[in-house]
Every structure is written in structure tokens, then in C-alpha cells.
Structure 1
Amino acid sequence: MVRKYIVFYGAVQGVGFRYRAMHAAGMYGCTGWVRNEWDGSVSMEIQGSEESLDAVITAIGQGRYVMIESMDVQKLTPVEDERGFRTL
């Protein structure tokens, strides 16, 4: 089980990014949250297996209008008993 804090840059707001993140996280059994930031980026904390986190990020990037130009990634300590994935 891993948890990561990820900031996505590029065309990531107003393109269905958070909706795709919630859908993909549910599909791959991940927990955490996603939110738009004031600078046009999107931040996310996501928890699950390394493979499921990779699958979620891949699914988000396949969005029709989503263009991820870069990501900043930090590993975090997993959160015990977290349930669900939400938009903040």
C-alpha cells in the first residue's frame, strides 16, 4: 500500500480531470482526494497499490481534453482506514 501527493500541470482544469480521477480511483480501488488549485494545477492524494495508482494516472491522462505536461510526486505515509475518493 502506497500513498502519493501529486500535482498535475498542463491542461488539467475545465477538462473533466477530477471526474475522471474519481471514476478511475473507484474502478481501481484507490482512496484519497483531488482538487483544483488557484494556479491552474490539480493536486491529488491517492492511496492504493503501486499498480493501481499507475492505472489511475494513465486513465486520467487518456481523457479527451486532458493534457498532463508534468507532475510533481511525493510519497506519503498511508492513511489507515480511509474510505472512498472525493473531490475537495
Structure 2
Amino acid sequence: MRYHIVVHGAVQGVGFRQFTLQTAKKHHLSGWVRNRSDGAVEMNVQGDHSSMDSFLEEIRKGNDLSNVEDFITTKKENENDDSTFKIVY
């Protein structure tokens, strides 16, 4: 399963992308995360159903410094990509 996710709130400048990277790696997910110019954080994440559910639950809560106000997920078709998760600058 693959999701495109946009997270709004106090999510830039607070380590949210690094938190997302660590959480994705913990759940063996692939994809990427990046800051958007509108202050949101955007990501594409792919993995199995149970890992994705756990990942989404943690990301919705955010890290200690972030404040997630809105969380938009869109289900996408799986892609053949590598098994890594990275921060895109």
C-alpha cells in the first residue's frame, strides 16, 4: 500500500522530517518526505498494511516539538522503488 500524505501545523523547523524518517525506517517503509513552501510537510510512503497503520498513528501524533493540526492521506498505486526512505531537500 502507498500513501501520499500532507501534514499541516507546526511541522517545519521542529525536526518533523527527521522524526518521519526514523519512524518510517522503524516500520521498514520506503518513500520520501519534504518540506513544502506553504509550511506543510509532504510525504509518499509505501509498505505493508500493518506497518503503514502503525506509522500513520505515530505521524499523526508528531514528535515532542511539533503540533499536527491537519493530516491528509491519499491512497496511491504501489510503485517499484527502492526499499529506502529519505528526506528530499
TM-score normalised to structure 2 length: 0.88
Give the AA of the match of 2:17.
R
Change (3 A) 1:6 1:48: same
1:41 paired residue number:
40
User: How many corresponding residue pairs?
Assistant: 87
Q: Which consecutive unaligned segments of at least 5 residues does structure 1 have? A: none
Contact 1:20/1:59, CA 8 A, preserved across alignment: no
Task: Give, as a single letter, the amino acid of the residue that structure 2 aligns with 1:25.
Answer: A
- Aligned-pair CA distance for 1:59: 2.9
Distance 1:23 1:59 in 2: 11
Q: CA deviation at 1:50?
A: 2.4
2:68 corresponds to 1:68: yes
Counterpart of 2:27?
Answer: 28
Q: Which runs of 5+ in 2 are unaligned?
A: none
Structure 1 residues 81 and 42: CA distance shift in structure 2, 3 A: closer
Identical counterparts, % of pairs = 36
Structure 1 residue matching 2:3: 3-state secondary structure: strand
Distance in 2 (CA, whole Å) between partners of 1:49 and 1:14 is 30
How far, CA to CA, are the matches of 1:3 and 1:77 in structure 2?
6
